[in-house]
């Protein structure tokens, strides 16, 4: 039996904090997030996503988008592979290119917008694989145009009351404690005491506020930190150790499960 189709390319962009991911895959992806805005086009097939804004279906020709920290997954519809392309833009880069105000986000995970779709396709034209060096000024201009359009036409403030009734200060203490102990975090009992909650309450409330329970959330933080280190030239084994993974193969498994590509593929993209 043949393994499911899975081809992925990671390509750095014209500015710091920008990269593209081109995916052709029949695999499903577990719950994860990116620390950047993501927007792109579903070119072929369809997939279903449990996003932070509810379950959605994305089909060929539609624009797809995620916000920084938004937990989502992806499952193909049927047995056929789907093909999509995403531009990932850090919060800082998006603020520099578009009229992005504090607290704003992309309102919908999937939508139809021919004008924005054309702008995104123009951006991807600069990620061509013909070996020609792109004009950086034109590339940045196209990217700025696409970022401006998505913020202008599809941006709004995050919904109010989505996590009411929570002790946000207590959850912030837990979050900071986890980040301080990235490689060796305290146990659930200690975190619950820190928040003055039962273990069950902590898991439930933390997931309501952040989309994932505490240690699943921490794993995403570790992966994000590992991506930053690897892109900066840190060897894979050192990045794994610095971010709390048992070894390089442990990092490899989680990278592939969440992002669809390996740490080595991410490393090669930034060494080109």
Geometric angle at alpha carbon 43, from 38 and 49, rounded to 5°: 55
**pLDDT score of 83:** 95
Same domain, 149 and 184: no
Residues 89, 212, single domain; the answer is no
Query: What pLDDT was estimated at residue 140?
Result: 86
If asked whether residues 241 and 120 sit together in one domain, one would say no
Q: Do 142 and 173 share a domain, yes or no?
A: no
Residue 93's domain is classified under what CATH number?
2.60.120.10
**Residue 1 located in a structural domain:** no
The CATH number assigned to the domain holding 202 equals: 1.10.10.60
CA gap 68, 105 in Å, rounded:
9
**Domain-located, residue 234:** yes
Compute how many other C-beta atoms are within 10 angstroms of the C-beta atom of residue 223: 23
Instruction: Verify that 74 and 28 share a domain, yes or no.
Output: yes
The answer to whether position 144 is within a domain reads yes
Do 150 and 58 fall within a single domain?
yes
Identify the pLDDT of residue 161: 43
What per-residue confidence (pLDDT) applies to 229?
95
Whether residues 205 and 152 fall in one domain: no
pLDDT of residue 228: 93
Say if residue 131 is in the same domain as residue 196: no
Q: Which of 241, 199, 203 is nearest to 222 (CA)?
A: 241
* pLDDT of 102: 77
Whether residues 44 and 140 share a domain: the answer is yes
Residues 198 and 152 reside in one and the same domain = no
Q: Look at residue 134 and tell me if it is in a domain.
A: yes
Q: To 5 degrees, how large is the angle CA 240–CA 14–CA 267?
A: 20
10 and 144 in a single domain? The answer is: yes
Domain assignment present for residue 163? The answer is no
Q: What pLDDT sits at residue 68?
A: 92
Give pLDDT, residue 133: 58
Which of 125, 156, 187 represents a domain boundary (last residue)? Answer: 156
Specify the pLDDT at position 21.
95
For the chain, how many structural domains are there in total? 2
Domain span holding position 133: 6-156
pLDDT per residue, tens digit, the chain (272 aa), is: 677 899 999 998 888 899 999 999 999 998 999 999 999 999 999 999 988 777 899 999 999 999 998 999 999 988 789 999 999 999 999 988 887 777 889 999 999 999 999 999 989 988 865 555 566 777 888 898 899 889 989 988 654 444 556 788 899 999 999 998 888 888 888 998 999 988 878 888 888 888 888 888 988 999 999 999 999 999 999 999 999 898 999 999 999 988 999 999 999 998 86
């Amino acid at each position: 039996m043949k393994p499911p189709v899975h081809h992925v390319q990671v390509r750095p962009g014209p500015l710091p904090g920008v990269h593209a991911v081109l995916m052709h895959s029949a695999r499903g992806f577990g719950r994860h997030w990116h620390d950047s805005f993501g927007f792109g086009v579903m070119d072929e097939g369809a997939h279903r996503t449990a996003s932070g804004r509810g379950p959605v279906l994305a089909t060929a020709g539609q624009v797809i988008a995620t916000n920084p920290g938004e937990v989502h997954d992806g499952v193909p519809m049927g047995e056929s592979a789907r093909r999509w392309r995403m531009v990932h833009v850090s919060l800082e880069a998006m603020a520099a290119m578009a009229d992005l105000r504090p607290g704003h986000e992309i309102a919908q995970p999937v939508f139809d917008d021919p004008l924005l779709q054309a702008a995104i396709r123009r951006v991807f034209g600069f990620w061509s694989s013909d070996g020609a060096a792109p004009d950086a000024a034109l590339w940045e201009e196209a990217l700025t145009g696409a970022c401006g359009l998505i913020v202008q036409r599809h941006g709004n403030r995050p919904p109010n009351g989505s996590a009411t009734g929570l002790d946000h200060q207590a959850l912030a203490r837990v979050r900071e404690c986890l980040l301080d102990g990235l490689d060796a975090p305290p146990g659930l009992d200690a975190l619950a005491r820190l928040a003055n909650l039962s273990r069950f309450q902590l898991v439930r409330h933390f997931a309501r506020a952040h989309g994932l329970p505490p240690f699943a959330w921490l794993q995403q933080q570790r992966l994000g930190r590992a991506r930053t280190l690897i892109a900066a030239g840190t060897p894979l084994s050192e990045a794994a150790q610095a971010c709390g993974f048992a070894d390089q193969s442990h990092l490899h498994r989680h990278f592939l499960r969440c992002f669809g590509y390996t740490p080595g593929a991410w490393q090669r993209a930034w060494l080109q």
